[in-house]
Amino acid sequence: MTTVDSPSGILVSTDEVARRLGDPQLHVVEVDEDTSAYEKGHIPGAVALNWREDLQSRHSRDVVEPEQFARLLGERGITENDEVILYGGNNNWFAAYAYWYFKYYGHEAVRLMDGGRKKWELEGRDLTADVPSPAVATYTPKPANTAIRAYRDEVVAGIGKVAMIDVRSPEEYSGVLAAPAHLPQEQAQRNGHVPGARNVPWSRAAREDGTFRSPEELREIYLGQAGLQPDQPVIAYCRIGERSAHTWVVLHELLGLPGVKNYDGSWTEYGSLVGVPIEREAPA
Amino acid sequence: MRLHGRVVRRGAPVEGAYVQLIGPSGDFTAEVRTDESGRFLFYPVPGRWRLLGFVPGGIRIEREVDLGAGQTVDVDLPVVEA
Residue A211: CATH number of its domain: 3.40.250.10
> A41 at the B interface (CB within 8 A)?
no
Identify all chain A residues contacting B21, using CB atoms and an 8 Å cutoff. 181-182
Q: Final residue of a domain: which of A127, A144, A161? A: A144
Q: Which residues in chain B are closer than 8 Å to A124, comparing Cβ atoms? A: 56-57
Q: Does residue A284 form part of some domain?
A: no
Across the interface, do A208 and B42 touch by the CB < 8 Å criterion? no
Residue A5 has pLDDT above 50, yes or no: no
Q: Which residue of A has its CA nearest to B59?
A: A122
Please indicate if any CB of chain B lies within 8 Å of the CB of A181. Answer: yes
Of the residues A155, A238, A251, A257, which is catalytic? Answer: A238
The mean pLDDT value for B21-49 works out to 93
Inform me whether the pLDDT recorded for A56 exceeds 50: yes
CB A166 within 8 A of CB A238: yes
3-state helix, strand, coil in chain B (%, to 5): 0, 60, 40
Residue where one domain finishes, among candidates A77, A111, A144: A144
Q: What is the overall mean pLDDT for chain B?
A: 93
A183 lies within 8 A of chain B by CB: yes
If asked whether residues A134 and A151 sit together in one domain, one would say no
Shared domain check, A152 and A40? no
- Are A159 and A135 contained in the same domain? no
Given this model, what pLDDT does residue A7 score? 54
pTM of the model: 0.94
The gap between the terminal CA atoms of chain B, to the nearest Å, is 34
Torsion of CA A28, A33, A36, A39, to 10 degrees: -10
Superfamily of domain B2-72: Carboxypeptidase-like, regulatory domain (2.60.40.1120)
pLDDT tens-digit map of A220-255: 999 999 999 999 999 999 999 999 999 999 999 999
Please report residues of B whose CB lies closer than 8 A to that of A204. 27
Residues of B with CB under 8 A from a CB of A: 3, 16, 18, 20-21, 23-25, 27-33, 41-45, 52, 54-58, 60
Indicate the domain borders of chain B: 2-72
Last residue in a domain, options A125, A144, A163: A144
DSSP annotation string for chain A:
------TTS-EE-HHHHHHHTT-TTEEEEE--SSTTHHHH-BSTT-EE--TTTTSB-SSSSSBPPHHHHHHHHHHTT--TTSEEEEE-HHHHHHHHHHHHHHHHTT--SEEEETTHHHHHHHTT---B-PPP-PPP---------GGGB--HHHHHHHTTTSEEEE-S-HHHHHTS-SS-TTS-S--SSS-SB-TT-EE--GGGGB-TTSPBPPHHHHHIIIIIIS---TTS-EEEE-SSSSHHHHHHIIIIIIS--TTEEE-SSHHHHHTT-TT---B-SS--
Shared domain for A15 and A136, answered yes or no, is: yes
- Asked if residue B9 has pLDDT above 60, the reply is yes
A112 and A207 part of one domain = no
The reported pLDDT for the residue numbered A34 is 83
Instruction: Answer yes or no: do A208 and B57 touch at CB < 8 A.
Output: no
Q: How deeply is A129 buried, as exposed, middle or buried, from its count of CB atoms within 10 A (0-12, 13-18, 19+)?
A: exposed
User: For the ranges A62-71, A142-151, A275-284, which has the lowest average pLDDT?
Assistant: A275-284
Tell me the CA distances in angstroms from A283 to A25, A212, A279, one per residue in order: 54, 34, 11
Tell me, yes or no, whether A258 and A164 share the same domain.
yes
In a 13 Å sphere around the CA of B24, the CA atoms on its Cβ side amount to 13
Residue A91 has pLDDT above 70, yes or no: yes
State the residue range of the domain holding A140: 11-144
Interface predicted TM-score (ipTM) of this complex, two decimals: 0.90
Residues A195 and A117 in one domain: no
Let me know whether A43 and A74 are in one domain. yes
Is A238 labeled as catalytic in the residue annotation? yes
Identify whether residues A15 and A107 lie together within a single domain.
yes
pLDDT at A188: 87
**Any domain includes A81:** yes
Query: A121 — contact with chain B (CB < 8 Å)?
Result: yes
Over 80: is that where the pLDDT of A12 sits?
A: yes
Question: How big is the CA angle at A72 (ends A70 and A74), to the nearest 5 degrees?
Answer: 65
Region A157-162 average pLDDT: 97
Cβ pair B23:A91 closer than 8 A: no
End-to-end, the C-alpha distance of chain A in Å comes to 43
Number of structural domains in chain A? 2
- Residues A109-125, mean pLDDT to the nearest whole number: 97
- The answer as to whether A255 is a domain residue is yes
* pLDDT at res. A224: 97
Check CB contact of A185 with chain B, cutoff 8 Å: yes
Do A50 and A94 belong to one domain?
yes
Evaluate whether residue A5 is within a structural domain: no
